[in-house]
Amino acid sequence: MTREEKHRFIEERRKHVREVLAKHGNDILESHKFHKTKHFIQHGDMSVYDHSLSVAERAIRINRFIHAKCNERDLVRGALLHDYFLYDWHKDGKDKGNVHPKLHGFFHPSTALKNASRDFVLSEREKDIIKKHMWPLTVIPPMCREAWIVTMADKYCSAMETFGLHKAKIRARYIDLPAQDIERL
């Protein structure tokens, strides 16, 4: 593959991801409450917002690569909302909502599901994705392939962010446009 062909392939993949995100996640991405996640750090120097976009992108790519034929709407929405816990888990219990500061990994999926259910209409698959994305910490494994894919995407992105290997800001590549412009991409 020539350099030009590789560049074209990458641009096509980015365009596909933009289209899928705009089609299925626009209401979440435009939500004022979802934008609050920009103010919470997830791993390394990544915000929860950027982490969620990264997981959604990775999940879309995994689904496409393995031909899993997932419900893309549920996949994208579950990926965007999987860490919708809305508190700073680094503050050791001083932030409202962080009920078990030392056990954030075990308890944040339930908080994220509660918040997402309050602010958005969720399908059963989306609920499964959010509630079980921390498996095996959540003990009960995911029940649908969308949840398995988001779980894998989350583990990959979390490792890359924690070790500082994932410096690219997804927002700059996909969501740094006004919402009405996303539709035209």
What letter would DSSP give residue 172?
Answer: I
Q: Is 46 exposed, middle or buried (0-12, 13-18, 19+ CB in 10 A)?
A: buried
pLDDT at 28: 96
pLDDT < 50: residue spans in the chain: 169-172, 175, 177, 180-185
How far, in Å, CA of 148 to CA of 145, rounded? 5
pLDDT at 184: 40
How far, in Å, CA of 1 to CA of 3, rounded? 7
pLDDT at 167: 52
* Helix%, strand%, coil% for the chain, nearest 5: 65, 0, 30
Q: Are 155 and 137 in contact (CB under 8 A)?
A: no
Dihedral pair phi/psi, residue 43, rounded to 5°? -125, 140
How far, in Å, CA of 145 to CA of 128, rounded? 10
Closest by CA to 159, choosing from 22, 44, 35, 65, is 44
pLDDT at 63: 96
pLDDT at 110: 86
pLDDT at 183: 45
The one-letter amino acid code at 67 reads H
What letter would DSSP give residue 106?
Answer: H
What letter would DSSP give residue 153?
Answer: H
User: Cα 17 to the chain's mean position, in Å?
Assistant: 13
Three-class SS state of 41: strand
Domain boundaries, the chain: 10-182
pTM of the model: 0.80
**Hunting for tokens 């816990």 — which residue is that?**
85
Q: Is 154 exposed, middle or buried (0-12, 13-18, 19+ CB in 10 A)?
A: buried
Look at the domain 10-182 and name its fold.
Hypothetical protein af1432 (1.10.3210)
Give the chain's largest Cα–Cα span.
Answer: 53
